[in-house]
Amino acid sequence: MKGKVVLITGATSGIGRACALVFGQAGAQVVITGRDEARLAATRQELEQQHIACHAVRADVGVEADSERAVAETITAFGRLDVLINNAGISMRAMFQDADLGVIQRLMQTNFFGTVYTTKFALPHLLASKGSIVGISSIAGYRGLPGRTGYSASKFAMQGFLEALRTELLPQGVHVLVACPGFTASNIRQTALAADGSAQGESPRDEGQMMTSEEVAHHLLRAVQQRRRDLVLTAQGKLTVFLNKWLPGLADRLVLNHFRKEEGSPVK
């Protein structure tokens, strides 16, 4: 990655922050975005302490102008762009019948349109470098999850967009990777939206048994270096994708039962 420039959205915590450190330690120059000024400054300071060349941009990927500015500042700071990691995302935890429609709209705006906006503005530079576009999706992009209808819809949409884009870009040599980490110890569940759009707060899951964000970042680095097409992580994630493809009726029942058992689950 030496000499490469990597733009990572939503890089102030979790997988995004871990990617900034791992790609930076591999020699990349890193641009990070986030909505929270304090967290952004803290992550930038952490990168600088590791002697990683970096630039921070306060931006909300769901705002088209912010996405355009993030790419423009990347080019101003480092003169090129080699890897775009579309990581910024939010989740939800509510039954669809109870959820405010604004919750679904917010998830689509960040998770889907955030990817579309940033990729659109980054594409001319990635064409020039024959670089990589990475979408951090989810097992929910392969298998709809109860209590996460808006999240699943946004990740299905992201994967469809990136699959179509990958096919369009085959002749131009731009690499497109769809990565599905499975359940990961990150903050996405703490910031998940409840039925009324408020933040959920504490994660209902035991994160001690999950793959860490740092492990995910190392897998992502290798997948980008190898220019892989897809990446599905964790045994549970791989099993879910397999069962949903070959035994979808069984997958329906297993997934329903699994999410019913979650502490404080809205799924009945």
The residue-averaged pLDDT of 84-93 equals: 96
> So what's the pLDDT on residue 27?
98
Average pLDDT, the chain: 94
- Written as six digits, the tokens of 209 are 């048994």
Percent of the chain's residues with pLDDT above 90? 88
pLDDT at residue 131 greater than cutoff 70: yes
The pair of structure tokens assigned to 33 is: 């975005």
pLDDT of residue 182: 79
**Low-confidence winner among 21-30, 68-77, 156-165, 195-204 (lowest mean pLDDT):** 195-204
pLDDT band at 201 (very low <50, low <70, confident <90, very high): low
Residue 183 has pLDDT above 90, yes or no: no
DSSP 100-169: -HHHHHHHIIIIIIHHHHHHHHHHHHHHHHT-EEEEE--GGGTS--TT-HHHHHHHHHHHHHHHHHHHHH
What is the Cα Rg of the chain in Å? 18
Tell which residue, 207, 267, 232, has the closest CA to residue 142: 232
The catalytic residue among 151, 156, 161, 183 is 151
Widest Cα–Cα separation across the chain: 53
pTM: 0.94
Q: Tens of pLDDT along 10-46?
A: 999 999 999 999 999 999 999 999 999 999 999 999 9
Q: Is the pLDDT of residue 204 over 80?
A: no
The predicted structure's pLDDT at residue 9: 98
Every domain of the chain and the residues it spans:
5-235
The residue with greater pLDDT, 10 or 198, is 10
Whether the predicted pLDDT of 205 surpasses 90: no
Task: Answer yes or no: CATH 3.40.50.720 is held by domain 5-235.
Answer: yes
**Any idea which of 10-24, 115-129, 177-191, 209-223 has the lowest mean pLDDT?**
177-191
Find the mean pLDDT for residues 239-251. Answer: 96
Q: Looking at the predicted structure, is the pLDDT value of residue 203 above 70?
A: no
| Catalytic residue status for 142 | no
